[in-house]
Amino acid sequence: MTKILTGGVGKAEVTDTIKRLAIDSIDVVASSDMDAAMKLRVGQADYYLGTCHTGAGASLGVLVGLMGSAACHTFGRGVPTEDEVAALLADGKKAFGFSMDQIDVIAPLMARAIAARG
């Protein structure tokens, strides 16, 4: 089971959006950014999806500080393609940030890409 933690101002919406997909191999839980960073670091979670109003600083600030920028990626206000997401996952990215107004597009895209990695 792959565990995704959600954080930021839209964490409830991201959690609900992913749960509605009913992907059996994914467990999604709302979290705080600090708790998520600690769980990712010790292997108690696999990925983090953070949201803020711009998708930049606040969505990933704590994660970048505690995990390093190599483990994190922000989409900002842009919408990635499936190929871009797959490449980021293959590159080892674990924490992703995006804007609240992109939740309905990016959260399902991320969940499906993560599930496809098995």
Q: Examine the pLDDT at 72 and tell me if it is beyond 80.
A: yes
Q: How high does pLDDT run on average in the chain?
A: 94
3-state SS record for the chain: CEEEEEEECCHHHHHHHHHHHCCCCEEEEECCHHHHHHHHHCCCCCEEEEEECCCCHHHHHHHHHHHCHHHEEECCCCCCCHHHHHHHHHCCCCEEEEEHHHHHHHHHHHHHHHHHCC
pLDDT mean over 4-20: 97
Give the pLDDT band of residue 78 (cuts 50, 70, 90): confident
Tens digit of pLDDT for each residue in 43-69? Answer: 999 999 999 988 777 778 889 999 999
| Residue 33: closest CA among 15, 51, 19 | 51
Q: Can you give the pLDDT at residue 54?
A: 80
Cα–Cα distances in angstroms (integers) from residue 102 to residues 17, 21, 89, 105, in the given order:
12, 16, 19, 5
Model confidence, pTM:
0.96
> What does the pLDDT read at residue 21?
98
pLDDT of residue 28: 98
